Structure 1
């Protein structure tokens, strides 16, 4: 490993961090509320709807326990994950391309696109990028135990990442199919299978202890796979014109250099890259956004970094590269710089904190309160707790058969003293206007208006 390569990588990481610290950060409410509730005694799959495996929430819960529920804690953890993803892109491109330069070119492509394609945040799709890339890296180095461990870590962070694990397992069996059931293949497969066992056995034991096995099965596997796509707003795969333009730039740039290097793509390493890129595209479903597309973007950077170095320079290729750079600046980078540079964090701005302070003042500190029509970070900002059990305000949670009835039955002897109700506006999206009918009827009958905090936001008190 050359010193020059390390210095260039450090410079790229510094530039990446500069972009991240100056662009608007998206502080998704769940990145605060899930660990906050976990630290306040809520069991993830019994006292609350937690529709993901536990790794990311548990990690954040420990972080917040030590450093507090501060925006900078989430920001810096997110940026560390993203910067580590850049290092993983560099490592993987070096490994596949057998070149220090390939790693640097791939990392450069990633640094100049990732922050501008909804990458300045923490979400489950962003958290799985490092373990998936490391899983492939160790697979290419023939370390199947480490590979299985990292792919399993990704799957226990977001369940759709299990598709990467399944795809690689199928590839291993297919590649060595002539040795099926013989010792060399069996030993390799067992090494790869140890990863899920290392994570899965403690998780199953913990879920059994908490009586949450059924809840985990329903909310992490069954309902997402079989039920939620039936509800309006859950599946959102239609693309805006801007998204189509971005995908066209990424696709055509890769296709052009791939056609020029078709023979290289027959190598097994490129087949694996292509296979996992395809899986990453499938895993974007049911909602297309570029933050769901982050693992595909990382693979794209690896492909481009390697293939660019294999492409013979010519006036035509120079024109193509110049057009790609110009299109990327105009369509991808410039619009984000214009709208997001130096702006307050989304979901954690001054207005959010002001309203949370009003809620805290109206209902009191450490109170149990139900926030109807609010995103869940307001519990954290106002230092309040919802009643158990709790679900976020999405129709695909509340409209599952029997969910509202079960929650109301558990509230009967434990309903909160206060309710803060935000009446949705007609101009809001379908998701923003949603209110669970049976819950709303119960609240209307058992609570009375007491204080208006701001337009369409009222504090209600339980009837005596």
Structure 2
């Protein structure tokens, strides 16, 4: 009895509290396991509610993957101008160029931001393309009131953006998302959105002056449509960044040079020598998208009247980017707006005809697109091949960090690659239309601040012009004062006597 009583007492007084705690822990643990267990139906429901976002993500992922398998061509100006500006050279006085400052010639630029490496600039390029896709989706949802129609726009952009030199990074690559943002916020009935739209349009202008026609179109549209107060709100936003640019130019004492290179030079020397008009082959290659785009623009205007007038204005005005030089990269800003017009017109026809048209269109377009991928497939980076790497090494080995170097008709970004400055701290890209104006200044710098090493390539032709014809004085001076010490392919390495 005593033993049984003691055992019962121990159970009730000692072990039972522990057992209760253990039991409680097991129950709560089971509940946690049950609550955190994978529930397929919840995942399926989540996928159903986010299917459009998932499709958009897949389109963007595929788009980036395609670009990563193409030859990458970042314009060397992005690196060289940023590098030289960060080293204290003034735009238009020391760096002769025809563009507005943008992301290259201000003190805050790609180099100062730590983005002027080939790896980082490629990430920037891919992020810009992804941003364009997201903005196009948001715009598509708003103008069509349909996620599916918006996704078709994204698909068309995936189809055509790489084809129109989407593997190239240039000023248009930065301007395109700014214009998409500006269009997205262009709401004539909301002051805040209208101000933001103008602000972004003004920022785009600071990148490239060819935004002027679009600004003119939009300003006239808002002046006719809006009250004076709303119109002034847009102008206030629009003027902010251009005023900052003018203040910067005046503060550096370079307004005269700025005016010459960005206006006078473009309207005289460049318009005579640097223009690149479209040829028949170029027009045929652009026809699969833009011929359909023009027809769609006419159809949208007839069917919907003024409803999509801002979209039509953006599509038409962005074509001016390709006015001076007809390269596909200059058509990039107009691409998303024409895709919007095409999608609007397609969904105005019978669904069965729509399906048939899309199948036939993609089949025909594939002949153009496949050829493009065959020609541009690869992992190389233009201006950063084995030749450039070897020349860069030779120049570094034969100079000190403070020495000046000069490139004659050869690797344009050798200064950035070697971290060396040009003679006299004067620089211009050696296009014939630039050298016609700037040869005297460049030669003066070479004579007064002689480079230790010259990287020379003779017989270079640019758009039918022999570069040697526009650098004869420089060529004569180099021939008398420098001797060849090496050669990489067609590139000669010259050293000062």
Q: Tell me how far apart the structure 2 counterparts of residues 256 and 325 of structure 1 sit (CA, whole Å).
A: 17
Say if 2:150 is the partner of 1:103: yes
State whether residues 395 and 453 of structure 2, in contact with CA within 8 Å, keep that contact through their aligned partners in structure 1: no
- Aligned equivalent of 2:412: 376
Q: Tell me how far apart the structure 2 counterparts of residues 305 and 317 of structure 1 sit (CA, whole Å).
A: 10
Q: Tell me how far apart the structure 1 counterparts of residues 247 and 103 of structure 2 sit (CA, whole Å).
A: 19
- Aligned equivalent of 1:179: none
- Give the deviation of 1:110 after TM superposition: 0.4
The SS at the match of 2:182 is: helix
What are the equivalent positions in structure 2 for 1:30-429 lying under 5 Å apart?
A: 30-57=77-104, 62-65=109-112, 67=114, 69-140=116-187, 142=189, 143-176=193-226, 184-185=227-228, 187-231=229-273, 234-241=274-281, 243-254=282-293, 263-268=302-307, 270-314=308-352, 316-331=353-368, 333-387=369-423, 388-400=425-437, 403-424=438-459
Which one has the largest radius of gyration? 2
State whether residues 106 and 306 of structure 1, in contact with CA within 8 Å, keep that contact through their aligned partners in structure 2: no
Per-residue deviation, residues 344-370 of structure 1 (Å, max 9, x unmatched): 112222222222222322334452111
Per-residue deviation, residues 230-283 of structure 1 (Å, max 9, x unmatched): 12xx11113252x33332222443466667766543133x22222221212233
State whether residues 213 and 317 of structure 2, in contact with CA within 8 Å, keep that contact through their aligned partners in structure 1: yes
Alpha carbons of structure 1 residues 255 and 171: separation in structure 2 relative to 1, 3 Å:
closer
Per-residue deviation, residues 157-179 of structure 1 (Å, max 9, x unmatched): 11101221121011112335xxx
Using the size of structure 2 for normalisation, the TM-score is 0.82
Q: Tell me how far apart the structure 2 counterparts of residues 377 and 171 of structure 1 sit (CA, whole Å).
A: 43
- Give the deviation of 1:313 after TM superposition: 1.7
Q: Tell me how far apart the structure 1 counterparts of residues 360 and 200 of structure 2 sit (CA, whole Å).
A: 37
The structure whose RCO (Cα within 8 Å, separation 6+) is larger is 1
State whether residues 32 and 377 of structure 1, in contact with CA within 8 Å, keep that contact through their aligned partners in structure 2: yes
The SS at the match of 1:128 is: helix
Per-residue deviation, residues 169-209 of structure 1 (Å, max 9, x unmatched): 11112335xxxxxxx32x12221112343212322222222
The SS at the match of 2:428 is: coil
State whether residues 125 and 294 of structure 1, in contact with CA within 8 Å, keep that contact through their aligned partners in structure 2: yes
Q: Tell me how far apart the structure 1 counterparts of residues 301 and 361 of structure 2 sit (CA, whole Å).
A: 20
State whether residues 152 and 195 of structure 1, in contact with CA within 8 Å, keep that contact through their aligned partners in structure 2: yes
User: Is the deviation greater in 130-139 or in 255-264?
Assistant: 255-264
Q: Tell me how far apart the structure 2 counterparts of residues 369 and 92 of structure 1 sit (CA, whole Å).
A: 49
- Give the deviation of 1:99 after TM superposition: 2.2
Alpha carbons of structure 1 residues 51 and 68: separation in structure 2 relative to 1, 3 Å:
same
- The unaligned stretches of length 5 or more in structure 1 are 177-183
Q: Tell me how far apart the structure 1 counterparts of residues 405 and 156 of structure 2 sit (CA, whole Å).
A: 47
Say if 2:491 is the partner of 1:457: yes
- Give the deviation of 1:16 after TM superposition: 1.2
State whether residues 260 and 311 of structure 1, in contact with CA within 8 Å, keep that contact through their aligned partners in structure 2: no
Q: Tell me how far apart the structure 2 counterparts of residues 262 and 54 of structure 1 sit (CA, whole Å).
A: 36
State whether residues 318 and 334 of structure 2, in contact with CA within 8 Å, keep that contact through their aligned partners in structure 1: yes
User: Is the deviation greater in 12-21 or in 353-362?
Assistant: 353-362
